[in-house]
Structure 1
């Protein structure tokens, strides 16, 4: 395996997370343990085996932990059978604490897990109060940037499962623009009031720009169109 402690990015993130755990992240409020099992469908029933167990107070929002698990020969056969049948790889999580005891389940294609080299990512979703409400599982690519956080390269040993566990917190949605809405209402009210009040100006005040050109045209037309008068006479016969 290739050691990654020489990577300056990993060194910075590793020691920053140790020194500033509360400023870089937020812990999960639920105390207790979170147990993960992977399950395979075998003759209309599930065969499950625990792959890791985490204390919820050790988890931090937006941080990643890793684990490895060695599949037994029977589990490897069940995974191969699921791949051949195009079945799913199931993950079940049990949250056991003083306040609750609940199960959550998710799945992905077993063929995708096999193609990834048994490298999976597990996402724990928590609400605004830090309470776990859902889990997700998906295969990871060997070039995934998250793997830079591992102290070592993922194991190439046969039937060795490597998992990355990440906690995602909820994000506050955009708040409504109250000031903009108030300005819009005021503008609509002013436009409506202006339409109802109407234009009280006089006829000349409203249409002078049309009247003046017509008057000027008529004046100039009258001056240019007049003909000069003439006098004439004839003499009588003598």
Structure 2
């Protein structure tokens, strides 16, 4: 059966008058008969619940979410008391380990944006009915929104959250809801790839600060071996050039070209099996 959201201000006023005579706003410290702030007098969204022995959901009104006027999300919860019939039924559902369900329509939680988008179905959450009974109707409801304030999820937990088999004899403890309401917008988190990269860079920076020797270049590490070797080769080449004469130069050049296959300098010296040095 289709449900019409009570967005008309006159209807809201009527519903609120009925709610305030039988409810306590436990999540914000309001008492029965307290005047409602004008900033919360715009629109309301129904909060419904269902608990059936046959586990077939039949939702009925539990209370109303009153939306704050303005561009910032703000929600006030007003709830009805459980009737004697509902208290008895809830205990029966808890005895057979049934479920307690809640649902809210998918709407904007901003009163100024109610006309921008039509309702698109309902969001549902549930807990075990025995947990609801043993907590004496103490629960926490969280409304999850996207960046625009549109309702995308709902969750409910009881306090405490586990069923321990504790019997609730006094039905007066199951009369008034003790609810904490949260509105949870999305949170921007650091991507896993970026976090890993930053951690890796920090580790490498810390490692280099502990081992400054690793930051030196190849020449800085082995200059004491390279410089004497170069000087020795230069001196050896000069001696060969002065002692060999013109013919010796041509013979040395020919031998160097035979070794390298591409040496065009006047003198080519062999440095081991693979390295050659040409001296003009």
TM score, norm. by length of structure 1: 0.52
Give the one of 54, 73, 87 matched to 2:84.
73
1:65 Cα deviation from its structure 2 partner: 4.0
1:88 aligned residue: 99
Q: Secondary structure at the match of 2:89?
A: helix
For 2:62 and 2:145, the matched residues in 1 are separated by 21
RCO (CA 8 Å, sep 6+): is it higher in 1 or 2? 1
Report the CA distance shift for 1:181/1:88 in structure 2 as closer, same or farther (over 3 A). closer
Give the one of 104, 109, 113 matched to 2:132.
113
1:170 aligned residue: 186
In the TM superposition, what are the counterparts of 1:141-180 in structure 2 within 5 Å? 158-174=174-190, 176=194
Contact 1:107 1:137 in 2 (8 A): yes
Contact 1:128 1:169 in 2 (8 A): yes
Report the CA distance shift for 1:39/1:116 in structure 2 as closer, same or farther (over 3 A). same
Provide the aligned C-alpha RMSD in A: 4.5
Contact 1:35 1:95 in 2 (8 A): no
Q: Count matched residues.
A: 164
Report the CA distance shift for 1:41/1:178 in structure 2 as closer, same or farther (over 3 A). closer
1:161 Cα deviation from its structure 2 partner: 2.6
1:57 aligned residue: 68
TM score, norm. by length of structure 2: 0.45
For 1:37 and 1:107, the matched residues in 2 are separated by 12
Q: Secondary structure at the match of 1:46?
A: coil
Report the CA distance shift for 1:127/1:194 in structure 2 as closer, same or farther (over 3 A). farther
Q: Secondary structure at the match of 2:92?
A: helix
For 1:76 and 1:111, the matched residues in 2 are separated by 12
Report the CA distance shift for 1:177/1:49 in structure 2 as closer, same or farther (over 3 A). closer
For 2:105 and 2:93, the matched residues in 1 are separated by 23
Give the one of 145, 151, 163 matched to 1:126.
145
Contact 1:92 1:103 in 2 (8 A): yes
For 1:138 and 1:179, the matched residues in 2 are separated by 37
Q: Specify every segment of 5 or more residues in structure 1 that has no aligned partner in the other structure, as ranges.
A: 1-9, 11-17, 22-26, 142-155, 207-238
